[in-house]
Structure 1
Amino acid sequence: MAQVDKCKLPQAFWRAVEQIGVPPAALLRQARLPATLHLGGQSYLTTAQYFVLLRALADLSGDPALGVRMVREADTAVHPPSSLAAFYARDYRDGLTRLARFKQLCTPEQLQVVEAGGECSISANWPFAVEPEPAISVDVTFATLVELGRRATGKTIAPRRVEFTRTGPVSATHAEYFGCPIRAGASRDVLVLDAEDLDRPFPGHNPEMLEMLTPALTAALGELEAQSSIAEQVKVVLKRSLASGQPGLNDVARQLGMSDRTLQRRITEEGSTFRDLLAEARRDLGRRLLTDPATDIAEVACLLGYQDTTSFYRAFREWEGMPPNRWREMHLPRRAVGVGLH
């Protein structure tokens, strides 16, 4: 499905923030986001802004298990229709499928569900992210998936194991909530369920409600897809793949689920070329990476798929009319530049 970098924050989010004792105004000030973002109806953030907001929330609360606690204490009734539909599903497997499909109406997060060897492994991918997902966000996702199974089946479902990329000891709240082995310092964040649990029926299965909700949610997904041009979709894939080398048109076409010829035709119809989109993706990602003083320029070049810094310097001069180190000096606060140089 096409992606749009838009994270929806419903009023229920701000009510949950207040319930844990964090004033929304203080949270927005900490995250350096607009002070009135919590007022009125739904608000929208980019992935980068959403990650900043969640990190600020974790910092202000001082609770390493805040994400788990927020999900556990949330009332099912406040869930948006995109999540609520999962509770009306036939069984846990059907519920997870619906949640993974319609969750993208709220955030660009893509849930990857793989069943093999009696296990169901679930991980998340944020296509617009240029930095690691915050631990609190991972906790919210994994707790949401577990809570769906527990509330909808009425059983105390425990995962087989949970793997976190974060380091350090796992909190007692995590251990108590998940009730399974938890490994820190893993190569990726993954929730592993027992495949047999996926067949557990949902007593609240409601075909009538699904008949009402599914067409509306499917139509909303179609509208969201229409907002994203093929050029934007290609650049999302390129940014995600650059660090592994320079992806070709066939690599991108495969990830977008279309033939090379179809992708080439659609790019041409939008008045662009694959080479231009690759340059734009590198330029956009390069500028984002350079705003982080902790990332040195050689590393930026590597993450953009360049084999040496000389090639990166040459390309960056063509984009911005100056070398990357000069651009960084102009776009970072004076103190931040100093930190990056020492």
Structure 2
Amino acid sequence: MISTFVPAFLASIGLDFGRLVSLARATVTKDAEGRSWVSTRDYFALWDAASGLGLPPDFGLRLGSMQRIEGHYDVASIAALHSETFRDAINALARYKQMVCPGRWVLDVENGVASLEFKWLLAGDHLAPDFLTDGGFAYVAELYRRGTGRALKLRRIELTRRPNREDLLSDAFECAIRFNAPRDVMVFDAASLEDPFLTHNQELVRLMIPGLEAAFGRFRAGGSTVTDVQLAIHGQLKGARPSVERVASAMGIGPRTLQRRLEEAGTTYQEQLDKVRHVMARQMLEQTDLEQGEIAFYLGFEESNSFARAFRAWQGMSPTQWRQAVRSGPPSRAVTEGLLSSEGVA
């Protein structure tokens, strides 16, 4: 679904939402409640169309950190802003934001360090414009600032792109920027998660929860087991092959239940693991300058040669040959096949 904030924000900078829909050749549908829905592909196409009209370099940062237009908060943002702590706010975003934006926030805490990643859903064969990633992180930093009254102290921002406009990003986030990373994450001290929100409104949140949960239940009813498994595998790929037990645990179900659901969907765990590895490998080869051995390690292959053999089976050429072919061809932000099905809407 498209938040009402999007057309309002575009209008505030002189861009007409209807014109962008036409330029992007996007299909927008209305539900019974008058809300607008597009596929994730078309969502990216809308923003690519806006970018083609000459947006400033800091557009994504402004998109995320600007003062929200009165009357255009989405329900997930309202729930997050009035949460008790920063952790509660992130949990609200992770649960409810996916109903109004084609993505999911994922929080990981280890050894006193928190990593927050935004994963796009149903992205098909398209990658999100860089400024949407920048805007997402700016949005979280602004949420913390509004909630606590002070700036979020970040350790670093990690980005899956080659170095570009580092000064702009480091000035905006006041932290180190690490390019050529395997995923897009913002990293900060886990202690910040317990910081209380001055904007906390327990009564408002209590009143909102029943409606949010009902809407979330309807949203989840139309979801996909395969999509959920792919996202869980993606989140567990951190230098080791994720077992079916680990992925099932991350999804809050048992291994047998996971395998049964995949069987009902006509697939297997190994097939989904291979698909996630395949697409992530292509994305890292196209977007970053990571060496083959680094990519192999991140994807959980025991050695670089094992990764090279698997990639040749997938693409019919070596990782090095594929990278050279992609970079010597016409400029593109897309890979040849996507991680997730492009049939759904977001």
TM-score (norm 2): 0.67
Give the stretch that moved more between structures: 171-180 or 75-84: 171-180
Counterpart pick for 1:111 among 101, 105, 108: 105
Which residue number in structure 2 is paired with residue 299 of structure 1?
Answer: none
Q: Per-residue deviation at 1:14? A: 0.8
Which residue number in structure 2 is paired with residue 178 of structure 1?
Answer: 173
1:11-38 CA deviation, whole Å, 9 max, x = no partner? 321111121222324322332224898x
User: CA, structure 1 residues 146+258, in 2 after alignment: closer, same or farther (shift >3 Å)?
Assistant: same
User: What is the CA–CA distance in structure 2 between the aligned matches of 1:20 and 1:199, rounded to whole Å?
Assistant: 36
Q: Secondary structure at the match of 2:193?
A: helix
Unmatched 5+ stretches in structure 1? 1-7, 290-301, 312-335
Q: Secondary structure at the match of 1:160?
A: strand
Name whichever structure is richer in helix by fraction.
1
User: CA, structure 1 residues 85+278, in 2 after alignment: closer, same or farther (shift >3 Å)?
Assistant: same
Counterpart pick for 2:57 among 48, 61, 64: 64
- 1:190-201 counterparts in 2 under 5 A? 190-201=185-196
Identical pairs, percent: 30
Q: Give yes or no for the alignment of 1:308 onto 2:313.
A: yes
User: What is the CA–CA distance in structure 2 between the aligned matches of 1:142 and 1:192, rounded to whole Å?
Assistant: 10
Q: Give yes or no for the alignment of 1:90 onto 2:84.
A: yes
- Residues 85 and 213 in structure 1, CA contact (< 8 A), matched pair in contact too: yes
User: What is the CA–CA distance in structure 2 between the aligned matches of 1:252 and 1:274, rounded to whole Å?
Assistant: 16
- Residues 22 and 60 in structure 1, CA contact (< 8 A), matched pair in contact too: no
Counterpart pick for 2:23 among 7, 25, 30: 30
Q: Give yes or no for the alignment of 1:139 onto 2:126.
A: no
Q: Give yes or no for the alignment of 1:48 onto 2:41.
A: yes
User: What is the CA–CA distance in structure 2 between the aligned matches of 1:93 and 1:257, rounded to whole Å?
Assistant: 19
Give the stretch that moved more between structures: 188-197 or 225-234: 225-234
TM-score (norm 1): 0.68
Q: Per-residue deviation at 1:152? A: 1.0
Q: Secondary structure at the match of 1:161?
A: strand
Q: Secondary structure at the match of 1:219?
A: helix
Counterpart pick for 1:213 among 188, 201, 208: 208
User: CA, structure 1 residues 157+203, in 2 after alignment: closer, same or farther (shift >3 Å)?
Assistant: same
- Residues 22 and 61 in structure 1, CA contact (< 8 A), matched pair in contact too: no
1:34-59 CA deviation, whole Å, 9 max, x = no partner? 4898xx94311112221222222223
Give the stretch that moved more between structures: 173-182 or 137-146: 173-182
Q: Per-residue deviation at 1:228? A: 2.6
Counterpart pick for 1:187 among 152, 161, 182: 182
Q: Secondary structure at the match of 1:205?
A: coil
**Matched pairs, number:** 283
Give the stretch that moved more between structures: 41-50 or 85-94: 41-50
Larger Rg: 1
User: What is the CA–CA distance in structure 1 between the aligned matches of 2:250 and 2:193, rounded to whole Å?
Assistant: 27
Q: Per-residue deviation at 1:163? A: 1.8
Q: CA RMSD in A?
A: 4.0
User: What is the CA–CA distance in structure 2 between the aligned matches of 1:310 and 1:119, rounded to whole Å?
Assistant: 37
1:233-259 CA deviation, whole Å, 9 max, x = no partner? 567779999xx9x99977875664433
User: CA, structure 1 residues 155+36, in 2 after alignment: closer, same or farther (shift >3 Å)?
Assistant: same
Counterpart pick for 1:102 among 96, 112, 117: 96
- 1:190-339 counterparts in 2 under 5 A? 190-228=185-223, 230=225, 233=228, 253=248, 256-266=251-261, 273-274=266-267, 308=313
